[in-house]
Structure 1
Amino acid sequence: MSVIEAPEATTPQEATVRDRADVARQVRLVVTFGLSTAILVYFALAIEDPQVTYILGERVTQEFRPKDLTTTWVSWLAIATSLVALVLAALDRYPRRGAGLALALLVGVMFYLGFLMWAYTDQAGAFQAAIANPIPGTMRIATPLVLGALAGCLCERAGVINIAIEGQFLAGAFFASVFSSIAFTSLAFIPLALVAPFGLLGGVLAGVGVAAMLGLFALRYQVNQVVLGVVLVAFASGLTSFLLGQIPGDRKATFNNPMILDEIRIPVLADIPLLGQALFEQTILVYLMFASVAFVTFLLFETRWGLRVRSVGEHPKAADTVGIKVNRVRWQAVLLGGVFAGLGGAYYTVGSTGAFDREVSAGTGFIALAAVIMGRWHPIGATFAAVFFGFMWNLQNQLSFVDKLPGELLGAAPYLATIIAVAGFVGRVRPPAADGEPYVKS
């Protein structure tokens, strides 16, 4: 009778073997939460007078009056939250997927609150700045970034690198201003309520025009797409500056003085504390941005056309073998992306400030491109990344009223956050396999 031998017991050394990526993840988490805990402890101990004021709105009004707050409990609650995450990471018990992301977001929010407690306490001088609601300012800055990021997602999912988002912003901003100005002064048949929305049409046409140039040289003539994008940005910058200079001084009130989009208040929702006015008392362009995120996500992942776009971005030859016209689909994605980028550019004129000025977008097209990478080429991920960058920009603006940080550091903060987020926290990301590679039918 044969005896079946039992398998040898796993040695402790074999049982503790871990994947290298898992070890790297643990080290990254321990370092991140360790630094955040140490910095929060410094913030808490550096506070001398723990009293600050805050308002629930963006500025002091009859509705939003300043209120007093003792910062001690907030600072130490932030420390406790970060410390819990640090202990879980050190014991290799940090949750994964949704729970881990939720905990990381909680630590980030508490770090932000702990930082604010330090930044707004012990202010020197007679003027005492109050902590204000960051959401309205964040939404204003993030709106064009989200629209530009959606354009980048559409293009790169189809296999076309779109470095030219900044150029589309500039062209969209200029022609939105001009279209709105002409509609107000020369096109009497357009109702007054539609003058500013008519500017959106100019922004869309300009964004699609730059996208057409991108598609022509990238898909027809197979020019290097990175170099092409930089050239298109320089072209749009030079063209808009030239056209602006051609407007005589006495005619700028006519051709570069657009009407601005009116705010539309959604009843009930606009009365929600903290979030209501920021999200539901906005212009039609902001509501279009909300709808665009849902539309692009549905289009890419729930429709046959979206499947084709993703297939030509991943494996164009395989897509070609099943009858998909690769370059036609890429053309469609690039032109549709131009619509959203043009709307993003229009925000800088008819959506906010009015008149066009040179370099009005201030390099935000490149930040939108970084949001695409940080969001892993997914519309929702790119949207959250764009909102994060908008939040950092708004934080810089709000902290300019206090004297805790040098102005030079504040000015660089959004760009530093972009570099750290993309290079440090996103980790290794894989773009669409055929991104930037022209396809020639054999």
Structure 2
Amino acid sequence: MASTRNRPRAERVPQAVRATLLAHALRSKRVVVALSGGVDSVVLLHALREVAPELGIRVAAVHVDHALSPNAGGWSRFCRALCRRWQVPLTVRRVRVVRAGAGLEAAARDTRYEALCRSRAGAIALAHQLDDQAETVLLNLLRGAGLAGARGMPVSLERRGRLLIRPLLELPRERIMEYARANALQWVEDETNDDVRLKRNFLRHRVAPRLAEGFPRWREQLARAARHFASADADGNRLLRTFLAERGLRAPSESRLAEMLRQITGARRDARVALRHDGTVLRVHRDRVALTSGEAPAPFSPVRWNGERRLALAALRGELRFRRVRGDGIDPARIEGEALTVRLRSGGERLQPDARRPRRTLKNLFQEAGVPAWERGRLPLLFCGRELVWAPGLGVDRRFRAGPRQRGFVPQWCAHD
């Protein structure tokens, strides 16, 4: 009786699978299910087999054995037996997980995706459902993730030239279980799913029930918020693609574009983002994106200034210009007849452009003036012997500045575009 009563709601599973396949033009294509042996992936494989004949789809499965659990061998055997019974071609890939800085769980996920993407298919179907989406968004927000984290998991994405789809993403766990019971399906349980020391499990078992008491539709609302964030992210993708095209650069792949946008929008304000693309480097400074040359900087040797009005500095891609004024600039008398030399930063230089403030490091002054970090090391500095006299954007050190009625010369750095 229970299975009969639940069947109308359980039918939403094959309906969702069919809709996703049609939305991604997968008629007559080969679709591979990522089969872990858990209830979600078993339900996905069963539902895909149900709708495959009418769409001409060839169904296959791949099971990734991480060898991290003592029960991993049992899961592989279950998947083999299930696919033999259902006459579904199965590939079992045993992988070695190398723990990286992000942790074992993240390393296992990345390794699993790498293994899945080796499959030849029109699409690879993943069994994430609504609860997974809500947990992912909540976890990312609690970790302080940016826009890329708040958007959660997309219904589809491209990875290593493979289309990944998530047909069950809008279905709650209850619909999955109803479908499994209505069709008398069997599956295996991962013993780690009950370990609340894992953050996702802690949310699932300790936090989610309390949320449901006060916010019965918390999963749907978080998933809805994720779609809004994803829409904003898509706008960001379009903006970035336009930014590159307007500068004559080739378009990156969808996955590369998404990764570039993730780094640009998710970086801390003080982070040094440098993304190489098509012979250039995209950099971020104070929420603005700048495009710089990808070529190695030309070597630069100190250059003596002999009083000329313009001093070309080809290695720095610009020129210094000097104009004579009264009551400003560098006082020639304070140089004491010594020549000025153009040099680059070597570290530790100090300047006091404001007599009311103490002498400070160039780094501190450049930061305060908003000069991007990648520009600071290639800005020409004027020295008198070992003393720093002038820096672009900062001005003349007070010890060398002309008085109100004295004649001086004002340097100006003009970078070539």
The structure whose residues are more often strand, as a share, is 2
Larger radius of gyration: 2
* TM-score category, normalised to shorter length: under 0.3
- The TM-score normalised by the length of structure 1 is 0.21
Higher helix fraction (1 or 2): 1
TM-score (norm. length: structure 2):
0.22
